[in-house]
Amino acid sequence: MGKKVMKIAILTGGGDCPGLNAVIRAVTKTLILENNAEITGILDGYDGLVLEEYRKLGYSDVSGILAMGGTILGTSNVANPYKYPVKDCDKIVFKDLSKTVIRNLKKLGAECLVCVGGDGTLNIANSLFRDGVPVVGIPKTIDNDIYGTDVSFGFDTAMSIAAEGIDRLETTGQSHHRIMILEVMGRRSGWLALYAGVAGGADIVLLPEIPYDMDVVAKVVKARNGMGKRFSMVVVSEGAKPKGGDVVGRKVLNDGSDPIRLGGIGFVLADDISRMTGLETRTVVLGHLMRGGSPTPFDRVLGTRLGVKAAGLIQKKKYGYMVGVNGSDLVDVPLTVVAKGSRLVPPDHELIKQAKSVGTSFGV
């Protein structure tokens, strides 16, 4: 009797992110070259497992995709098999279709499911593992908010795009003597705003973890103006909020994802600054520009390292773990740890202290 062929399934879930294709490439090539494995790509995240939509991934299928943005497998940020939206009599109801997913994986003959995604995707992966599915996780998010890893691929690319945005807005702000506001993604964590703000030399950085005092923000802007600095650069995370206030949401969702789609704080802030200082203020929202396009070399390398490390876990049959980054090392992190919640910026983070030392205000 011939040796049993290793069969592996892989999906990308949640929002798209630069570096996803680098991970798919690394997992697929490693397991094909070292184990002659058969790789099945699940289309559109967990949707593909519910609807049985797949594609085979051969060596040539993942060649030439290292520098490509997006994901060749597609993705979904609303498909949760434990709370799956189903149309019933012209209304949406949510059903637990996890048993359908488990059954479909068995039909595929997959001995492991590789889940590449953020906290939502990996929380679902942890639930599937709890229900008997062999799972290996790989962290993906531009927000950098996943427990168990110092950094995830996609963050460096998004932060670089935001820093370039600051550089460009500063020159036009100087020319027109305006207050320029850049609103960045990040949901309830401020890693993107913090690192991009420091990299771009922003004068004010507002984070979800540190509710800001509008009087302080106005005071900083007026003080700079009084010193002859007739412009200021403000970076605000989409999840930032004033003391005693709440986040700004563009819409309330009913699709099983985060119930509030954040966005718009930059425009609220601009109105407040203009009203309190009398200075002309403009807002730019980077939005999905931060998630698109080619990954930076750092993210290509990190995605490759994480993918190869995940393949190693599969070869050892070490399931129920996510590959994480600890300093310069790759580590195995139990999915139960990842499922604890989002990794937020500590208010006493070293970079916040260093930014304050060079005059950056955090609105407090």
Say if 1 falls within a structural domain: no
* 148 in the same domain as 27: yes
Domain ends where: 291, 317, 349?
Answer: 291
Residue in the block written with tokens 């509030």:
260
Q: What is the pLDDT along the chain (364 residues), one digit of tens a residue?
A: 567 899 999 999 999 999 999 999 999 999 999 999 999 999 999 999 999 999 999 999 999 999 999 999 999 988 999 999 988 888 889 999 999 999 999 999 999 999 999 999 999 999 999 999 999 999 999 999 999 999 999 999 999 999 999 999 999 998 999 999 999 999 899 999 999 999 999 999 999 999 999 999 999 999 999 898 889 999 999 999 999 988 897 665 555 455 677 889 999 999 999 999 999 999 999 999 999 999 999 999 999 999 999 999 999 999 999 999 999 999 999 999 999 889 999 999 999 999 999 999 999 9
* 285 in the same domain as 179: yes
Q: 175 phi and psi, to 5 degrees?
A: -65, -40
Q: Which residues form the domain of 224?
A: 157-291
Choose among 6, 72, 24: nearest CA to 44: 72
* 226 in the same domain as 284: yes
* 38 in the same domain as 175: no
Say if 360 falls within a structural domain: no
Choose among 347, 364, 356: nearest CA to 216: 364
* 168 in the same domain as 302: no
Alpha helices in the chain (DSSP H): 20-35, 46-51, 98-108, 119-130, 155-176, 191-200, 214-226, 265-277, 297-315, 335-338, 350-357
Residues designated as active site: 143
Total of domains in the chain: 2
